[in-house]
Amino acid sequence: SYELTQPPSVSVSPGQTARITCSGHALSKQYVSWYQQQSGQAPVLMIYKDTKRPSGIPDRFSGSSSGTTVTFIISAVQEEDEADYYCQSTDTSGGFEVFGGGTKLTVL
Amino acid sequence: EVQLVQSGPEVKEPGESLKISCQGFGYNFSNYWIAWVRQMPGKGLEWMGIIYPDDSDTRYSPSFQGQVSFSVDKSINAAYLQWTSLKASDTAKYYCARLATLLGKTFDYWGQGTLVTVSS
């Protein structure tokens, strides 16, 4: 089955830049979305189509793509950004959606 | 305003049946796929499958095929996730989410989640 690989954890100090990667063999052909999940809350869409930001999401959240790896970037990290982040894409062979394992962002 | 509103928490015993709901507001419910996503305690998100309300076309993740079933009631803009015989391992929070295919197959709106606890 298709897998998306994320680092389990990323730590960053306030004001610095956090980068969370997501790797998968089909990512050069399929779009990736990113979701933020605060403790006990439902996920929130942060980035779609690799780099697009929904309305209401601050521009310090961004995405980039290179080959089979996409990266979610948070500039000028704030304490409130501490959360779990998930990437999501499509398994081209089955037309199914798949989530990465999630990355816990800790703001030191 | 688009909203997905899910039914409340459930506590069930192993072997019991259960049906939880997800009701859509503020958009044309029939024309967007609805996905179901499981999150077991302390774990990540798992895509269970999707259903298209207009014609009930359904696709299940291989991991959940035969374990659950999806249905809809278009008259009240509701989607359902159902079990016929719950197991302790079904204990999890279940989310519904709207799939926006025009945005690159992204889940743009999510329900608040329904916590299902299965315990004897």
DSSP class of A75? S
Rounded-to-integer distance, Cα B87 and Cα A95, Å: 28
- In this prediction, residue A6 carries a pLDDT of 97
**The pLDDT of residue B48:** 97
The per-residue pLDDT for A94 is 64
Strand partners, A70: A22, A65
Helix, strand, or coil here: A44?
Answer: strand
> In this complex, do A49 and B104 lie within 8 Å of one another by their Cβ atoms?
yes
pLDDT tens, position by position, B6-57 = 999 999 999 999 999 999 999 999 999 999 999 999 999 999 999 999 999 9
> Is B21:B111 a contact under the CB 8 Å cutoff?
no
3-state DSSP helix/strand/coil percent for chain A, to nearest 5?
5, 50, 50
Partner residue opposite A98 with nearest CB, options B47, B95, B113: B47
pLDDT at B104: 87
Among candidates B44, B59, B105 on the partner chain, residue whose Cβ is nearest the Cβ of A86: B44
* B112 and chain A in contact, CB less than 8 A: yes
Q: A29 at the B interface (CB within 8 A)?
A: no
